């Protein structure tokens, strides 16, 4: 087989162009911070904004919460049922956990089938762990929900490829409660409805008083933080609340004041939710691999990468995953052998070293942009809370992208240093693995203490 000849300059110029359009320079990141601040203010006051700024009706835990609590944690394609014992002083026992996987059918099902799946999973867990006493349950539901109290909230829209019919515009706690009744599950009080970012923040804040930001960087992406209640102008109509601060779910995945490339536009147009979740499509694990595939295909079509026979493979939507990018960017073997193996597994045979180097560069360019956008938005949140960074801030982050990608965390930290300079040392980033379920249990405990006055306990009984 003869090796194809690619004009070196052609590839180099194309790569330089790609770097240029994907670059998030410091001035660009500062512009993001400026726009993010504006959108935060607008979102808090009910003006039109790409940031939904959803009040969570809960403050940080004190660390003194005690008791046994159950949590249901619905994130991406996994559902987890957990039981936690909170021991006070920020300590907790080893959780009991059971994992369930949602099929594509469940993600596209109708509301009753979807919530029945959740209820049935909970039933199995309660049976396995022999949990018979009445229990308070925290429900982590990782989608944009407009709450009007700690245990009630209406789904605004689906994200991350979910499309369960008949849920948008309805109270998800009500729908789960009905499913519990249908499935004859007794003695469960759903005392808290929690976004996964809020759960992550709560789990970390239980033992760390400096924690005031929770971030998810996984299939989807989002952040929450602590805001003085007086600034949440739109909350006035929602009723009384007993604390002076409240966690706000930013829903940053929908932020749209970002410089986009033609590749982003292609991805968006072909997605299940065009024009929505713009930041999420540039940052999160569900989309980065697909973005890389679109760029690889473009390079291939221009004759700069792989042989033309690879085009059919590269044209398959979804074939290239964010996990692949992690493997590719982490390859430091002589001859980039891991990349070769990975390409072979996708059916791309006979790549040259120049091909593999280009693939690695393309993946790095895309993931570096993602980490720098994340850093800019994180800096925006911190400087909204504390413009001079006069105190320490712990940021709790969960999600496989942050945890597993070889460069994401490093690049994010580097950009934070460029933006915050010496003050970056006041920002501590802490990986909070699988924290959202634990956080929901903690918030169930906070809610039991009546953090939101007027919240009713939702008791399910056998029908």
294 CB neighbour count, 10 Å cutoff: 21
Which phi and psi angles does 214 have, rounded to 5°? -120, 135
Residues 6+ apart with CB under 8 A from 385: 212, 225, 226, 227, 393
Separation CA 119–CA 372 (nearest Å): 40
Q: Closest approach of Cβ 200 to ligand BGC, in Å?
A: 9
Q: Indicate if 337 belongs to the active site.
A: no
Check residue 251 for interaction with ligand BGC (CB under 6 A).
yes
The angle that helices 435-448 and 196-205 make with each other, rounded to 10 degrees, is 80
User: Which tokens go with 99?
Assistant: 């994992």
What is the gyration radius of the CA atoms in the chain, in angstroms? 23
CB of 239 to ligand BGC, least distance (A): 23
- Could you give the C-alpha distances from 259 to 15, 267, 272, 282, 417, in angstroms and in order? 18, 14, 21, 10, 22
Q: Site residues for ligand BGC, window 153-172 (CB under 6 A)? A: 159-160
Give the nearest distance from C-beta 193 to ligand BGC in angstroms.
12
Query: Least CB distance from residue 317 to ligand BGC, whole Å?
Result: 19
Among this protein's residues, is 196 annotated catalytic? yes
By the rule CB under 6 A, 200 interacts with ligand BGC: no
194 vs 362, which CB is nearer to ligand BGC? 194
Residue 159 or 394 having the CB closest to ligand BGC: 159
Cβ neighbours of residue 329 closer than 8 Å, sequence gap 6 or more: 360, 363, 364, 367, 405, 406, 407
- Angstrom distance (rounded) from CA 431 to CA 445: 23
Q: Is 213 in the site for ligand BGC (CB under 6 A)?
A: no
Q: Is 346 exposed, middle or buried (0-12, 13-18, 19+ CB in 10 A)?
A: middle
Which of 45, 84, 83 is closest to 66 using CA atoms? 84
Q: Which residues in the 92-151 window bind ligand BGC by CB under 6 A?
A: 142-144
Q: Pick between residue 73 and residue 340 the one whose CB is nearest to ligand BGC.
A: 73
Nearest CB to ligand BGC, comparing residues 160 and 384: 160
Residue closer to ligand BGC (CB basis): 197 or 367: 197
Q: Whole-number minimum distance, CB 52 to ligand BGC, in Å? A: 9
**Minimum distance, C-beta of residue 197 to ligand BGC, in the bound complex (Å):** 5
Catalytic residue among 59, 73, 196, 212: 196
Contacting ligand BGC within 18-77 (CB under 6 A): 75
Residue number, 125 or 143, with CB nearest to ligand BGC: 143
Burial of residue 404 (CB within 10 Å: 0-12, 13-18, 19+) is middle
Phi, psi at residue 446, to the nearest 5°? -60, -45
Q: Which of 43, 55, 138, 220 binds ligand BGC (CB under 6 A)?
A: 220
How far, CA to CA in Å, does 311 sit from each of 308, 316, 347, 356?
6, 9, 11, 16
The active-site residue out of 160, 204, 360, 438 is 160
User: Please, which residue, 205 or 216, has the CB nearer to ligand BGC?
Assistant: 216
C-alpha to C-alpha distance for 135 and 127, rounded to whole angstroms: 14
Which of 197, 326, 371, 460 contacts ligand BGC by CB under 6 A?
Answer: 197
In the bound complex, what is the minimum distance in angstroms from residue 271's beta carbon to ligand BGC?
12
**DSSP β-ladder status, 145-149 and 152-155:** antiparallel
Stretch that binds ligand BGC, among 40-48, 125-133, 147-155, 194-202 (CB under 6 A): 194-202
Q: Give per-residue burial for 358-367: e unless 16+ CB within 10 Å, then b.
A: bbbbbbbbbb
* Residues 382 and 229: beta-carbon distance below 8 Å: no
The nearest distance, CB 243 to ligand BGC, in angstroms, is 22
Q: Pick the binder of ligand BGC from 39, 196, 212, 264 (CB under 6 A).
A: 196
Cβ pair 300, 314 in contact under 8 A: yes
**Residues of span 375-414 touching ligand BGC by CB under 6 A:** none
What CA–CA distance (Å, rounded) separates 448 from 419?
41
Instruction: Report if residue 195 touches ligand BGC, rule: CB under 6 A.
Output: yes
Nearest approach, Cβ of 34 to ligand BGC (angstroms)?
23
Closest CA to 198 of 150, 156, 137: 150
Does 216 interact with ligand BGC (rule: CB under 6 A)? yes
Residues of this chain, 344-373, that bind ligand BGC according to CB under 6 A: none
**Binding ligand BGC by CB under 6 A: which of 83, 106, 280, 398?**
280
Residue 79 or residue 419: which is nearer to ligand BGC going by CB? 79
Closest residue to ligand BGC, based on beta-carbon distance:
220
Looking at the Cβ atoms of 55 and 220, the one nearer to ligand BGC is 220
Q: Which positions touch ligand BGC (CB under 6 A)? A: 75, 142-144, 159-160, 195-197, 216, 218, 220-222, 251, 253, 280
Instruction: Point out the residues that are catalytic.
Output: 160, 196
């Amino acid at each position: 087989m003869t090796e194809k000849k690619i004009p070196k300059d052609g590839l180099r110029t194309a790569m330089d162009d790609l770097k240029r359009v994907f670059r998030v320079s410091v001035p660009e990141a500062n512009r993001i911070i400026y726009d993010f601040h504006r959108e935060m203010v607008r979102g808090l006051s009910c003006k039109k904004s790409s940031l939904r700024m959803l009040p969570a009706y809960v403050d940080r835990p004190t660390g003194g919460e005690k008791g046994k609590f159950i949590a249901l944690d619905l994130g991406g394609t996994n559902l987890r049922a957990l039981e936690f014992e909170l021991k006070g002083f920020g300590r907790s026992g080893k959780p009991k956990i059971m994992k369930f996987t949602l099929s594509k059918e469940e993600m596209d099902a109708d509301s009753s089938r979807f919530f029945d799946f959740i209820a049935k999973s909970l039933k199995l867990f309660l049976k396995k762990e022999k949990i018979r006493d009445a229990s308070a349950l925290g429900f982590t539901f990782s989608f944009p929900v407009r709450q009007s109290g700690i245990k009630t909230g209406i789904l605004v829209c689906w994200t991350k490829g979910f499309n369960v019919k008949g849920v948008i515009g309805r109270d998800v706690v009500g729908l789960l409660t009905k499913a519990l009744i249908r499935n004859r599950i007794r003695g469960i009080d759903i005392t808290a409805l929690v976004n996964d970012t809020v759960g992550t923040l709560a789990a970390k804040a239980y033992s760390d008083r400096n924690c005031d930001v929770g971030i998810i960087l996984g299939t989807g992406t989002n952040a929450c933080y602590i805001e003085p209640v007086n600034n949440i102008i739109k909350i006035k109509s929602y009723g009384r609340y007993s604390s002076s601060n409240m966690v706000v779910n930013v829903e940053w995945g929908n932020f749209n004041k970002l410089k986009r490339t033609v590749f982003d536009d292609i991805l968006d147009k072909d997605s299940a939710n065009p024009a929505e979740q713009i930041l999420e499509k540039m940052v999160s694990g569900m989309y980065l691999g697909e973005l890389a595939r679109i760029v690889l295909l473009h390079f291939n079509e221009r004759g700069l990468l792989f042989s033309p026979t690879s085009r059919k493979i590269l044209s398959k939507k979804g074939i290239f995953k964010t996990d692949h990018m992690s493997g590719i960017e982490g390859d430091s073997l002589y001859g980039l052998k891991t990349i070769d193996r990975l390409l072979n597994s996708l059916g791309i045979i006979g790549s040259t070293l120049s091909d593999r180097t280009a693939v690695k560069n393309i993946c790095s360019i895309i993931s570096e942009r993602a980490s720098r956008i994340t850093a800019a938005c994180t800096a925006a949140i911190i400087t909204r809370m504390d413009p001079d960074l006069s105190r320490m801030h712990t940021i709790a982050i969960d999600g496989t992208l942050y945890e597993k990608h070889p460069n994401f965390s490093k690049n994010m930290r580097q950009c934070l240093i460029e933006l915050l300079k010496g003050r970056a040392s006041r920002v501590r980033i802490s990986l909070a693995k699988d924290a959202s379920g634990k956080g929901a249990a903690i918030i169930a405990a906070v809610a039991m203490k009546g953090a939101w006055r007027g919240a009713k306990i939702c008791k399910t009984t056998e029908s």
